[in-house]
Structure formats: structure tokens, C-alpha cells
Amino acid sequence: MTNQTQKPFSFKLLKTDGLARRGEITTPHGTVRTPTFMPVGTQATVKAMYPGQVRETGADVVLGNTYHLMLRPTAERVDRLGGLHTFMNWPHTILTDSGGFQVMSLAQLRKLDEDGVRFQSHIDGQKYHLTPERSVEIQGLLGSDIQMQLDECIKLPSPEEEVQRAMELSLRWAERSRVQFEKMGGPAKGQGLYGIVQGGDVPHLRVRSAEELAKMPFEGYSVGGLAVGEPQDVMLKMLEVTTPVMPADKPRYLMGVGTPDDLLESVARGIDQFDCVMPTRAGRHGLAYTRFGKVNLKNARHMDDPRPLDAESACPAASSYSRAYLHHLVRANEALAAMLLTWNNLAYYQFLMQGMRDAIDEGRFEYFRLKTKADWAKGDI
């Protein structure tokens, strides 16, 4: 990451339509059109895709992850090699998560205390100590444009006192993350650090978390602690409680979400940024997302079907290969199956996001939401 002073990180709220928001984030590596879907590239790659292809689908941001990259190849090595943008040949915006979520879901022998979290690598058993300061240092070494505070994402359901403890710890870690980010000169580099709202499924804890974080000068705010197995209506209820008390002039990022329907319903409740492994992971398991719902290419009913997934799609994976061929590739466990279906799925997610951005621009978001859901309900033609 160059040390020259960049223009500051900024967010412009361009238009609203109900609670849906159309905006633009400016980072050192370009402009992010919101609402935006950010493909997950945990280990410095969006699995089964070339970076140029990811860009062609319409992605403005990809994700990297502190937990995975600190273990391998290490943040120091990526820094020595010119930073994550150069390392993975992605010259556009990169967002990194702080690693807390993965430590709790992937690492062994985890011990969490006030100072941070101690754990052993799931790769080679080596011991680590991840603190709010170290997480921000790693994200700075990676050259991340949008960084996350270290937080504790608690599983749901959990007793209210547990939710409160984790939320209050995350607030203290938010302050320590901010101090480290400013010590490393993040703002002058035009980078952003997001505070992460916690509070589980407890409305008054959500509100307190958002209000306390809003007192700190974060460039953006994430809604964490959701998409951890709760039903969609609980997630949406938490958004209805939380977004109204989040700063309206800063981006809002709902972490780890979601299905196409989750995206539609969350934009309708004031969310700007999303990330999810769904489109890429589903692609590797033979599942295609289309304008008319999901198509499971493992299913024998596709064996003789000469039609493409969607002849009108701009994505060649959707328009230039028959369902019969895709079914064959999936059954044969061929590498091209994952490549084509991942490509199709990311292209569909970006098509959906572009549709939402246009609908908000033109003041017809509610119509777009209902029409899109009706098309999905038609099912695969």
C-alpha cells in the first residue's frame, strides 16, 4: 500500500426510495456502486474465477480475510510482495474481515478474553493471539481499503446475558481497533474502518450497540451477528430495529448475507453492502441461480434439456451452454462445472444488484421487489 496521501474515504447518498438507498463509496482503489454485492475471496481468490471475470460480472469489491491470510501466506509476506491488490491481481476495492468470525468457526482450542482471542491454526496447529490491534495491523499490511474491527459474533439463540457480554466486549474492541487504525494512518491513506453492530436478536442491545458505535468516527458500519442460523424473519426484524439508529450518511454492511431474497428484503430495509459465500459455494455444488429461481443441475430431469440456463443473460455461462451439458459436467465432477456455475451465479447476483440500483434511481423499488419475487416464484421454466 503506497503511503502517499489519498483523497479521503467517502460515501455519497445519491437517492432513497422508501428505506432503500442508492449510493457511492470512494476508496483508494475506485468507486463502489451501492447497493453492492461483494464476492467472497477468502484466501485471495474468488474460487473458480479469474479476477478479470469477476470484474466483468459487475463486482466493484471482493473480500479477503484476516484469519486465513494471517495463517497462510501471512500478512507480512503479502506486504513484502506489494499488498493484496498486487498479490491477487485485483486492482479494485478490497474489503477484509477482521478474522473473529472465522476463529470462532474454524480454529481449534480457542480462548477468548478481554485482550483478544488465542487459538491454534486449523492448518498446522501453530498458536496465535489475535487482538483488535493485531487484526487492524494485518489488514493494513494487506493494504485493505475497507477494514473491520475485531468483534465477537455470538451464535443464535444465546442467553441474553451472553449476547450482552459479547456486544459490550465488541464495543471495547471497537475503540481499540479505531486507535490502532489511526495510529497506522488509515484515514490519510483513504482507507475505511467499520464498526460492527452486535446484540444478537435482542432489540435493545442492538440499539445500544449502534448508538455507542455511532459516537466513534468510523467510515462505515456493519451489522454483524446475523446470518448465523436464525430464520429470515428474525434477521429482517433486527434490521428494522437497527438501521434506523445507524448513521444515515455512512455505508451499512450486512455481513455474510445472503440469498437473492435476503438481498432484496435487506436493501428494502436500508442496507448498502453484502457479502456471502452462497453464489460461489452453490456453484461448486451444482446449483444455479437464475431470474426464475434456482436450478439444481444434479437433477436427472436436465439430462436431455438443450436449453441454456438463460438465453437472455449477458453471461456466456448462462447463455451458451445447455442444461444437458451442465448436468453432464456436474455428474462427471468436472472442474468446468464449478467454473461455469460460479460464473453464472456471480453474474446473476450482480444482475440483481444492478436491477435494484436502477429501480431505486427510478423510484420504482417496491415494484421491482414484488416483480422479482413473482418471477422467482414462477420457478424454473
Give the active site residues: 97, 275
Is 266 a binding residue for ligand 1WJ by CB under 6 A? The answer is no
Q: Which is nearer to ligand 1WJ, 40 or 263 (CB)?
A: 40
- Using the contact rule CB under 6 A, the part of the chain among 13-21, 94-102, 172-180, 207-215 near ligand 1WJ is 94-102
Is 153 a binding residue for ligand 1WJ by CB under 6 A? The answer is yes
Q: Which is nearer to ligand 1WJ, 103 or 339 (CB)?
A: 103
How many angstroms separate the CA atoms of 59 and 246, rounded? Answer: 25
Q: How many residues bind ligand 1WJ (CB under 6 A)?
A: 20
Interface with ligand 1WJ (CB under 6 A), residue from 196, 268, 318, 359: 196
Q: 332-337 contacts: CB < 8 A, separation 24 or more?
A: 335/48, 337/286, 337/297
Is 84 a binding residue for ligand 1WJ by CB under 6 A? The answer is no
Is 256 a binding residue for ligand 1WJ by CB under 6 A? The answer is yes
Residue nearest ligand 1WJ, CB atom distance: 256
Interface with ligand 1WJ (CB under 6 A), residue from 6, 26, 65, 266: 65
DSSP output for 175-216? HHHHHHHHHTTTGGGT-EEEEEE--TT-HHHHHHHHHHHHTS
DSSP reduced 3-state for 94: strand
Interface with ligand 1WJ (CB under 6 A), residue from 6, 27, 98, 135: 98
Is 42 a binding residue for ligand 1WJ by CB under 6 A? The answer is yes
Taken in order 135, 155, 104, 163, the sign of the CA dihedral is: positive
Grid coordinates 506486504 are at which residue? Answer: 79
Is 228 a binding residue for ligand 1WJ by CB under 6 A? The answer is yes
- Strands, E, within the chain: which ranges? 10-17, 20-27, 30-34, 36-39, 61-65, 93-97, 108-113, 116-120, 127-130, 146-148, 192-197, 220-223, 252-254, 273-276, 287-290, 293-296
Give the Å distances, CA to CA, from 353 to 279, 300, 342, 356, 374.
13, 31, 17, 5, 17
Is 280 a binding residue for ligand 1WJ by CB under 6 A? The answer is no
Interface with ligand 1WJ in residues 343-362 (CB under 6 A): none
Question: Which residues make up the interface to ligand 1WJ (CB under 6 A)?
Answer: 40, 42, 63, 65, 97-98, 100-101, 148, 151, 153, 196, 224-225, 227-228, 255-256, 275, 277
